[in-house]
Structure 1
């Protein structure tokens, strides 16, 4: 094993934060408003941490071969993205991204052009960023003796539990709203929008963040909510 357990935890956290920063900046520019990305409350995206840490471990002996590094980066990142999409859909009934409009996509979860981009990103991370990150981690390990890793585990573990509770409440709220709406499907559009606005007002900060930061968010078992949210997104884009 090229890294100690505590180093793996700190690497995972570091690249989760870097992934969050990259995605937040990119999506905020693309959507023309601030997007607080990430599934958890904190400023980190674990899927990036898992993917990059796995790549660093499995490519440790081939990092001088750029082609192999690029190929492994594509494979590992694509697998993690696909698994994350399946996990969110079947555990939380959520879809946070959709590549259905891209050529060669698989169930809208992954697509070749995105995977090729991940490959480039992995090479850049391993060859440019990782040497600098490793120096910092070596310095940190010599002084904290693994205690930082323990703090990270406790902090992110707590965050994960709180996020599950928040998302489940979000799902229950929108599902109840959807059920009530289905019994009054003939309501005019103004009244529908008023009810939608009331729903939004009742949501927590984290639940509202999901709506604003993930434009493609869908609950797979709540059709009316998805439809009205989609119409309002289109209307907001047309106004801007």
Structure 2
């Protein structure tokens, strides 16, 4: 699904760009690149089509639902895009204020109806054809092309954004000169007025001389400043003419005054500077908080809190939190992907997926000493550890029970179907966030639990989790025996057959596949 939607995003972004170019050509009788980006893409069209298809497909082929849903989703997307662009650049990139039935100039009824008609048409007829078309592209080739297109898209966006932000520096001198011209003129006028009033009753002739000299000096200074302002203005306009990117944006969005005036750019630059300072301050505080969590020291005489340092109690509760978070993530992922609620657990009782809990413990133990490293180093280490851990869990599960709970053979860049590059990348991001953000916060929270509560809870839940793990392992192992037609010959096997039949395990583990134990390489014969 993600593969097809990525292709649809680029396809309809290109088609949207084509429609904008044709519309501008008919209206202005010339070619205008109407995209925000330099490439032939208008991302709002691609995002709109993907969002409309994703959210409306579960409602079936009801035409009224598709029309109303596409109109609402398209309008919300267009409003959000216009609002965010205005907040970022302090100008509207399109304005429907003069169009009847508009909302804050971002959207209007006319184009909302267009969104509804086009969206319903695309969902009913175009998207099924697109799914079949992109399904014909070999997955390996398709993913490589998507990576290339995505890289070009990101690079294009960064170049355009940097060009807009960097233009402010070109205008700084011009704004400075014009402001000084204004200040100088006002100051000369005030001084002249005060001097004239003071001498009015004493020397009429001296007053006239003073006025003449003051006016002459004022005009001379004004001319100097005006010459300098004119020179810088010519230089700025020449820079605009020579810079094709800025010239293209100015032509594509004639209502975008951010390229013509400096006040908005100056405000944007100041906001960016403030944002940059706040970001660095937040990053510094984040690193300090992380360091404090890893370098905890007790003050002499201070009572040792619950789960202080790296101990079993803290690791156990990290394991428990990881189990529950894994359950939530897997359930939401299934809901988004299949549009239906599915039970995604790893044990026969409770909302737990141990592979996530064990992964959190493994990353904590193996990356404990890397908290002071750069984020890129933590990311690479987490990427390797997570991929290896996922591979190991899959191999052990198949070797012991003859089952697998995930299989990536159809995904690109996989290793034996047990892990792949994409999920290793996710492990890297998760590890980086875990080391610097999640673990310090969780560690402080766990240590706030009173000892009288934390210790007995740890013991009780340890026993309960041990029982749950043993029952789950026994139930899965006994099912593998039933698959191989091995009858129950003792009380334990009969117990699992009665309380954990195939119907229950199919409900709890709907994606578990019985593939048999892996074939290990045979030992070389002894000489």
TM-score by length of 1: 0.79
**What is the rounded CA distance, in whole Å, between the counterparts of 1:167 and 1:41 in structure 2?**
13
Q: Please report how far the alpha carbon of residue 111 of structure 1 lies from its aligned counterpart in structure 2 after TM superposition.
A: 1.2
Deviations 1:15-65 (A, max 9, x none): 111111111111221122211011111110111111110111111133522
Whether 1:97 and 2:94 are equivalent positions in the alignment is yes
In 2 relative to 1, CA 213–195 (structure 1 residues): closer, same or farther, beyond 3 Å?
A: farther
1:84 corresponds to which residue?
81
1:149 aligned counterpart, secondary structure: helix
Say if 2:21 and 2:32, in contact at 8 Å, map to a contact too.
Answer: yes
Whether 1:202 and 2:239 are equivalent positions in the alignment is yes
In 2 relative to 1, CA 206–223 (structure 1 residues): closer, same or farther, beyond 3 Å?
A: closer
1:140 corresponds to which residue?
137
Give the 4+ runs in structure 1 shifted more than 6 A. Answer: 191-195
Q: Please report how far the alpha carbon of residue 89 of structure 1 lies from its aligned counterpart in structure 2 after TM superposition.
A: 1.3
Say if 1:93 and 1:220, in contact at 8 Å, map to a contact too.
Answer: no
Deviations 1:195-222 (A, max 9, x none): 7664332022111011111122133994
After superposition, the CA RMSD in angstroms is 3.1
TM-score by length of 2: 0.38
Say if 1:89 and 1:220, in contact at 8 Å, map to a contact too.
Answer: no
Say if 2:250 and 2:259, in contact at 8 Å, map to a contact too.
Answer: no
Say if 2:173 and 2:232, in contact at 8 Å, map to a contact too.
Answer: no
In 2 relative to 1, CA 220–71 (structure 1 residues): closer, same or farther, beyond 3 Å?
A: farther
2:381 corresponds to which residue?
none
Larger-gyration structure (1/2): 2
Q: Please report how far the alpha carbon of residue 116 of structure 1 lies from its aligned counterpart in structure 2 after TM superposition.
A: 1.2
Q: Please report how far the alpha carbon of residue 157 of structure 1 lies from its aligned counterpart in structure 2 after TM superposition.
A: 1.3
Q: For 1:135-174, list aligned pairs within 5 A.
A: 135-142=132-139, 144-174=141-171
**What is the rounded CA distance, in whole Å, between the counterparts of 1:42 and 1:199 in structure 2?**
25
**What is the rounded CA distance, in whole Å, between the counterparts of 1:200 and 1:76 in structure 2?**
41
Whether 1:118 and 2:115 are equivalent positions in the alignment is yes
Structure 2: which 5+ residue stretches go unaligned?
186-221, 265-527
Whether 1:211 and 2:208 are equivalent positions in the alignment is no
1:57 corresponds to which residue?
54
Tell me: higher relative CO, structure 1 or 2? Use CA pairs within 8 A at least 6 residues apart. Answer: 1
**What is the rounded CA distance, in whole Å, between the counterparts of 1:50 and 1:70 in structure 2?**
17
1:140 aligned counterpart, secondary structure: coil
Q: Please report how far the alpha carbon of residue 118 of structure 1 lies from its aligned counterpart in structure 2 after TM superposition.
A: 1.5
